[in-house]
A and B are shown apart, each in its own frame.
Chain A
Amino acid sequence: MSDAERLLVVEDLATTFETATGPLAAVGGVSLTLDKNETLGIVGESGSGKTVLARTIMGLQPRTNVTVTGSVLLNGHQMVGVSEAEKRKYWGTEVAMVFQDPMTSLNPVMRVGRQIDEALRVRLGMSKEDARARAVELLELVGIPSPQRRYRAYPGQLSGGMRQRVVIATALACSPQLLMADEPTTGLDVTIQAQILNLIDELKERLHMSVVLITHDLGVVATRTSRIIVMYAGRVVETGSTRDIFHGHRMPYTRALLESSPKVTSPSHTRLSAIPGRPPNLSRLPAGCSFAPRCAYATARCHEERPELRAAGPGHDFACWNPLAATGARPA
């Protein structure tokens, strides 16, 4: 499949912020692709640059004091280095985003129904009545009971889970082909998390969308994604199919991430294994591999030279000088 036919092609994308203390490379040289009807997971700790990556891919980075280099082709349209007006054409209609905290991502003084049909009226030119009908349909689609009544509600009158459903409905209003879900469940109760994630899965099937699922929680991506990208300090450190990442990972950081999530099956009173140390200061990155200071397997070379991505197998790349041994990976 050629680049132009893929849904999303990102090449060497880098985002740098101008701060009072100098330039800060939040994202450095990330490349990825996404096809139709695929779900990609982007995993990393806080500070790994995953949110900045998501926003930059969409073109939503702040307008001032930011430099973006590289290329992002969304359905063949370039999103880097173009004017805001250019990018705006595709926002909502081809790509949409679901944000982390539904309390802050909805306008608190505007009724939720209006926030949904705003997109329909402004972007699709629907009439007031048509837009309202469609908005109610969308509310129903995302599983909100009594959608007619809820249409007139203010965000503050809804529970966290319902608010996030509204956010999803708003994102889907103009039927985008790509949905970027940035930590969609992090701000919600654990019991609601699964509901929302299942909802996203359903909608993806029903509406033939692709989804990029961004999270720090590996449990979220385990069963819902076909491919995963692991990020650390603004760079991709491992990428591959979900199976490869979970069962055939090579980069020690990936293992550390996997091991630090508590498992239901562990015996009780098992100590949580945390990754020692702290994520690095992005404006003062160490020479060599960014993870080296915290890595149990770091060698001298790791501290001096930064590893580039190399292939471990088809569609499976990692960046490490001293990778874990290749396990007997089950055939794909």
Chain B
Amino acid sequence: MLKYVARRLSIMVGIVFVISIGSFYLLHLLPGDPASVILGLGNTPAARAALYHQLGLDKPVYDQYFIWIGHILSGHLGDSFISHTSIASTIRAALPIDLELIGLSQVLAFGVAIPMAMRSARKPDGALDRLLGAGSFTLLSIPPFIIIVLLVLLFSIKWGIPNTGPASYVSFTTDWIANLESLALPAFTLAIGSFVVYYRVLRSDLISTLQEEFITMARSKGLSQRRIMWIHAFRPSSVALCGTAGVNIGGLLAGGFVVQYLLQIPGLGYTLIAAINTSDYLLVQDIVLVVSVGVVLINFFFDFTVNLIDPRISRE
């Protein structure tokens, strides 16, 4: 087991390292000139040269990379060129919001998907199963940005429920009720996409697990249906679910920005978009790195969980 963890960790470090190179070079390859943005009208060749020197942009690219990595590893994320605030504090403020949003949406998604999948698996092709199947399929085809627009239309504009419209985010520490209200709609929107995927995967796996012989044997021991479902059937069936959760949640971290942007919720996604719009390269770079590390960590965590569930995998 320990060997497995060590091996995975080293692969992770390798991946993050390569990603850091990738994100660094990506931004340097892009057209666009940080200097003109910063200097604005005072963009004379002399001023530009001075700025480059000041920012260390006149050094060779690989030098710049190592300087950047060195700073990161020693905890200096630097200051944004544009806003002149500490990048570390920006990220530190934005990240928990993402985590809360993702956390809420996943609680919702799993909380509904798991019981529903179990019920459908017990009676495949029954009324509930068909309804959920068609319903989830339809939901799959409605993009999240449409869902959120409709939800905002309904809750905020039509029904006037407080704190649900755009720019109404309130932090948890200030007013936790308003906080939950402001995150309710986006969490729900993100939950829908997750729910559809989790429901289908779990249902399919449960149905095939329930046909296995050891389930009949468990039945023959006189165990209740509930016990059979939760203790015997769920565990082997949740392997694919875990893998899917990892990919899905990673995707939410990297891609939940549309919803954030629309409602002006200051999470990482929103901050990233704003940074791109203001050509704040360093901030973009750092956020990309943080997000990538996050995605890799999440995937690692879920892969690890899969191992706990099904010990046969690590033995292979």
Contacts and interface: CB of A to CB of B under 8 A. Distances in A.
Interface stretch (B6-14, B21-29, B213-221): B213-221
B207 to A, nearest CB: 12
B227 A104 contact: no
B242 to A, nearest CB: 13
A170 B217 CA distance: 10
Interface residues on chain A, size class: 20 to 34
A104 B213 CA distance: 6
Given A88-B224, A96-B220, A104 B312 contact: no
A91 interface: yes
B232 interface: yes
Most chain A beta-carbon contacts within 10 A, residue among B218, B219, B222 = B222
B309 A119 contact: no
B221 A170 contact: yes
Interface in B278-316: 309-312
Most chain B beta-carbon contacts within 10 A, residue among A88, A109, A122, A154 = A109
A108 B214 contact: yes
Interface in A68-104: 84, 88-93, 96-97, 99, 101, 104
Interface in A159-201: 167, 170-171, 173-174
B33 interface: no
A108 B219 contact: no
Nearest to B126: A64
B312 to A, nearest CB: 6
Contact of A110 (B212, B216, B227, B232): B232
B236 A97 contact: no
B30 interface: no
Given A99-B217, A107-B214, A109-B236, A88 B309 contact: no
A60 B220 contact: yes
Given A88-B224, A123-B222, A108 B123 contact: no
Nearest to A106: B214
Contacts of B216: 55, 60, 99, 105
B264 to A, nearest CB: 46
A58 interface: yes
A128 B253 CA distance: 43
A173 B218 CA distance: 13
B1 interface: no
B223 interface: yes
Interface residues on chain B, size class: 20 to 34
Contacts of A109: 235-236, 309-312
B120 to A, nearest CB: 13
Contacts of A122: 221-224, 227
Given A88-B224, A101-B213, A110-B232, A156 B312 contact: yes
Given A64-B123, A109-B309, A88 B222 contact: yes
Contacts of A118: 221, 223
Most chain A beta-carbon contacts within 10 A, residue among B212, B219, B224, B311 = B219
A108 B222 contact: no
B248 to A, nearest CB: 23
A122 B224 CA distance: 9
Contacts of B123: 64
A58 B217 CA distance: 12
A107 B236 CA distance: 9
Contacts of A55: 216
Nearest to A95: B220
Nearest to B310: A109
Interface in B193-216: 212-214, 216
B206 to A, nearest CB: 14
A110 B227 CA distance: 14
B222 A93 contact: yes
22 contacts: A60-B219, A60-B220, A64-B123, A88-B224, A89-B222, A91-B219, A92-B222, A101-B213, A105-B214, A105-B216, A106-B217, A107-B218, A108-B312, A109-B310, A110-B235, A118-B221, A119-B221, A119-B223, A122-B223, A122-B224, A122-B227, A171-B220
Given A60-B220, A92-B222, A109-B309, 8 more contacts: A55-B216, A88-B223, A91-B222, A107-B218, A119-B223, A122-B223, A122-B224, A170-B221
Interface of B: 123, 212-214, 216-225, 227, 232, 235-236, 309-312
